[in-house]
Amino acid sequence: MHSFQQSSDAILRKHGYRLTPQRHMILNVIQEAQGHLSIDQIMERVQQQNPCVSLSTVYRTLELLKSVDLIRESHLPDAQPLYEIADGQAHHHLICRRCHVTIHLDETLLGDLHEQLQTQYGFHHLSLELVAAGYCDNCWHTLQQELAQDNIDPQPTLDIVSQD
């Protein structure tokens, strides 16, 4: 049994659960993606391995895996929730508002904010998720060109001349 599977099994057992074949399959699908997957993508990949696994099983399993901190659910703007393996206490994204490219940011970006929050507010076992949205270089340049074009070529206006 390889280390991720062993640690996942240990975490589930610690919380009173077993690493069932379905849970193992769903965890593997998410781990092998090495990035974000939507529920549709997870379901498609699970069904390729075992068409008998239902959508409700996938949803229940994702909820369980989130509750024991094996996976992370991210809510990015204008997208359905995305899932990935949880690693570390912080998770930050930089997202383009136009093309939706998503960049993972360094988890040390906010320094020891989670420790400060724990000390100052008495919150424990914190997870931090920062979502910053803007425009990537390509989209920014395209947007600027579109705006410039609009200013250069304004829509024609009609002058109404009254006849007396």
Annotated binding site for Zn(2+): 96, 99, 136, 139
Cross-sheet strand order for the sheet of 90-96: 102-105, 90-96, 128-134
Contact predicate 97/77, CB 8 Å: yes
Residues 6+ apart with CB under 8 A from 106: 92
Residue 142, classed as helix, strand or coil, is helix
CA distance 90 to 95: 16
Binding site, by residue number, is: 96, 99, 136, 139
